[in-house]
Structure formats: structure tokens, C-alpha cells
Amino acid sequence: MRELGSRAEDRAADFLRKRGLKILHRNYRLRQAEIDIIAQDGPAIVFVEVKARRGSSFGSPSEAVDSRKQKKIREAALHYLATHKASEDAPARFDVIAIGPEGIEHIMDAFEAD
């Protein structure tokens, strides 16, 4: 299962690069939270959660990013912004890349920073 996640993150990073985003970090960890990919899209810092599924029996990959997971990602994002000298004016965006049998779905602004 870990191999599926690693391959999915590689595909997601390639997908983002092809769309002009610059990958800043991968697998950024903070205590109990992890951000799969941190990228830059113009002035915006983009925090990306990658979800992969082999089939649909467990629901769509994007459904796995529930409110608890979103809260953890937000906390790690705030820490990243505070410790990596990101411009306070730089907008932050939270995206989800869902990878399933039917391909890649990029959900921009999947949830709010709150």
C-alpha cells in the first residue's frame, strides 16, 4: 500500500510540474501531520494532499480528505509558512489530487484555510 502512495505522489508531482507549478517540498512532516506536496503556483503556496485508490469500493480518493485530515493539513501548513519565510502576502491554497483507475483529478481550492 505504501508503494501505491509513493507512486501516486510521483505522478501527482509530475502532473503539477507539467502545469507549471514548482515543487518546493514533498512529504513535509510535523508531529502527527504530513503534507504530501508543497508547490508554488505563481505567488500562491499550494499544499497538496494526494489520494490514490485502486478501485471505488472505499469511495472516491477525494472523500478521504475529511475535516479531521483538513485540520491536520492546515496546522502543518501554518507551521511551514511560519518557518520557511514565505511572504505573509502570499496566498495559500489547499488542493487535492485524486488518482484512481479513471486517471488524475486535480481539485483546486478543495478546502478553505479557515
Sequence spans of domains, the chain: 2-111
Q: pLDDT tens digits for 20-39?
A: 999 999 999 988 889 999 99
Query: pTM for the whole thing?
Result: 0.88
* pLDDT confidence of residue 27: 95
Q: Are 54 and 9 in contact (CB under 8 A)?
A: no
In the three-class reduction of DSSP (H, G, I as helix; E, B as strand; rest coil), residue 25 is classed as strand
Q: Are 113 and 92 in contact (CB under 8 A)?
A: yes
**pLDDT band for position 9 (50/70/90)?**
very high
Helix and strand totals (H; E) in the chain? 2, 5
Rounded Cα distance between 70 and 92, Å, is: 14
Q: Are 75 and 81 in contact (CB under 8 A)?
A: no
Fold category of 2-111 in CATH: Trna Endonuclease; Chain: A, domain 1 (3.40.1350)
Q: pLDDT tens digits for 78-112?
A: 999 888 876 667 789 999 999 888 889 999 999 88
